Structure 1
Amino acid sequence: MTVTALSAEFAVTTETVRRDLDQLAGERRLVRVHGGAVPPSTTEVEPDLDARRITNVEAKRRIARVAARLLPEDPRAAVMLDAGSTVGELVAHLSGRRGPVITHAPAIAQGALAHTDLEVHVLPGRVRPTTQAAVGAATVEAVRALHPGLVVLGCNGLDGTGFTTPDPDEAAVKAAMVRGAARRVMLADSSKAGARHLVTFATTEEIDTLVTDEDLPAELAAELEDAGIEVLRA
């Protein structure tokens, strides 16, 4: 179902349709895709970056503000940034840093270039249209050679066992990022809670901090904290 078709059928504006679809997506009653939405099903449907950028926007911005406090005190320290809409909100908080910012997401690199003192490094690979992130053997090899002080990641799903994503190529890059960094911070709004996708790229033992919103279920937060994860609510 497209935004245009729903607008015509119900005689409402496209802005109203988009707002209602975003709310339903947050309740996991449908999946937002570019130009509209699809019903949830047993088939993995991965929303594209444009769709995710307009979903749960305020929560993602609050999460990014809290995550900014976790950036290394040394402004020259290297930071690696995963792809994704929530991690993308962190880019606005890189002002004042002068060290390397490493990413496999061209959109995040472009945003980081606004901070002219940064050294922006873009990892090689094939760019997936859905997530606008580089993936593949060249990307994984490049990540494995790097050991930043901090990596900031996103995920599609999280539960008491770990963090998941639908695409194996994305998972391989994320897993390499997790294993190479000194500190691993995950950014995820509460809509990801309880979802388990095809591939686990990090167990709970491999993540140091989760920054989420106030709606993360208390039971899941306690389970993650018992596993050693610091849970920060924005």
Structure 2
Amino acid sequence: MSQTLRHPEIVELARREGKVTVEGLARHFDVTLQTIRRDLAELAQTGQLERVHGGAVLPSGTSNIGYGERRRLQGDAKAAMARACAALIPHDAALFLAIGTSTEAVARELLRHRNLLVVTNNMNVANILVANPDCQIILAGGTIRRSDGGIVGTLAVQTIRQFKFDLAVIGCSGLDRDGDLLDFDLQEVGVNQAILAQSRQRILVADHSKFQRTAPVRLGSLSDLDVFVTDRALPPDLDRRCRDWGTRLVVTGPQDGEAEPD
């Protein structure tokens, strides 16, 4: 495959996986390590990727990728995480589902839950849950972001503060190596912080690509959460921190020492 054809595919792999490695790409394209290093250097020079030890990641930035594209990324992983998260949510519960494609996947897994009260600032979540006749849905007020159907702002925070939730399910745009949760929108972060403050149990659902992504606004820390549902094992140092903090890990994909499926 020519360089011209490899470059777009390398960027797409980075979008799907969060990170690409020199060795993995060399096997994928059946070319030498030196060839891949040149490819990554050129992609970094044009700003399409950012070089890291052993490979490359999507470049850091101050704006998220498009919502439609995020919906397509990690589809199988999100479905598995959503099933695991829904298994933690009992019938007869009051919960908050926040903005994000992962929380939309959780909503789809709640269509057979009974006697739910769901408050959300995600119009997509509300539309999904309409199909469950045994679910009362309350949509937070506020400003609608046309890009993703999210509702943010002071009115949304005021709505949230009227409730005390049994559980809250949130997502994030990035996860720093020290366990900080990161996002792009300061208003959305303010809403999520209010959600966490009003919830008895707090659940984060985020796939492994978030381990490699960064964003400029700090939402909180894994230490603030009760459960973290993800699709791959965390780096060892972060895994140890979660155990010290008492944050339960639910990993739906390969564990340490397990082979990934073909």
TM tier, smaller: 0.7 to 0.9
Aligned counterpart in structure 2 of residue 93 of structure 1, from 109, 113, 116 = 109
Distance 1:21 1:196 in 2: 17
How many angstroms does 1:158 deviate by?
Answer: 1.5
1:120 aligns with 2:110: no
Distance 1:182 1:172 in 2: 18
Q: Which residue of 1 aligns with 2:245?
A: 227
Distance 1:42 1:80, change over 3 A: closer
2:228 and 2:247 in contact (8 A); partners too: yes
Q: Which residue of 2 aligns with 1:136?
A: 153
SS at match of 1:193: helix
1:128 and 1:134 in contact (8 A); partners too: yes
The size of the alignment, in residue pairs, is 212
Q: Which residue of 2 aligns with 1:54?
A: 72
How many angstroms does 1:22 deviate by?
Answer: 4.5
1:22 and 1:56 in contact (8 A); partners too: no
Distance 1:96 1:204, change over 3 A: closer
How many angstroms does 1:20 deviate by?
Answer: 6.7
SS at match of 2:115: coil
Distance 2:214 2:241 in 1: 16
SS at match of 1:63: helix
1:103 aligns with 2:93: no
How many angstroms does 1:102 deviate by?
Answer: 0.9
Distance 2:217 2:247 in 1: 20
Q: Which residue of 1 aligns with 2:206?
A: 188
Letter in 2 for 1:80: F
Q: Show CA shifts across 1:73-95 (max 9, x none).
A: xx222111011111111112211
Letter in 2 for 1:76: D
What residue ranges of structure 2 are gaps of 5+ in the alignment? Answer: 21-39, 41-47, 50-57, 253-262
How many angstroms does 1:50 deviate by?
Answer: 1.1
Q: Bigger CA drift: 213-222 or 174-183? A: 213-222
- RMSD (CA atoms): 2.4
Runs of 4 or more consecutive aligned structure 1 residues displaced over 6 Å after TM superposition: none
1:69 aligns with 2:87: yes
Q: Which residue of 2 aligns with 1:212?
A: 230
TM-score, normalised relative to structure 2: 0.74
Q: Which residue of 2 aligns with 1:198?
A: 216
What residue ranges of structure 1 are gaps of 5+ in the alignment? Answer: 1-8, 11-16, 31-37
Q: Higher Cα Rg: structure 1 or 2?
A: 2
Q: Show CA shifts across 1:153-210 (max 9, x none).
A: 1001123242110110110001000110000000010111154422212223311100
TM-score, normalised relative to structure 1: 0.82
Distance 1:128 1:28 in 2: 29
Q: Show CA shifts across 1:23-65 (max 9, x none).
A: 22123469xxxxxxx6544532302221111001111111111
Distance 1:21 1:121 in 2: 39
2:82 and 2:103 in contact (8 A); partners too: yes
Q: Which residue of 2 aligns with 1:175?
A: 193
Q: Which residue of 2 aligns with 1:35?
A: none
Q: Which residue of 2 aligns with 1:4?
A: none
Q: Which residue of 2 aligns with 1:27?
A: 18
Distance 1:85 1:44 in 2: 19
1:103 and 1:122 in contact (8 A); partners too: yes
Distance 2:128 2:242 in 1: 32
2:174 and 2:211 in contact (8 A); partners too: yes
Letter in 1 for 2:108: A
Structure 1 vs Structure 2: percent identity of aligned residues? Answer: 25
2:60 and 2:213 in contact (8 A); partners too: no
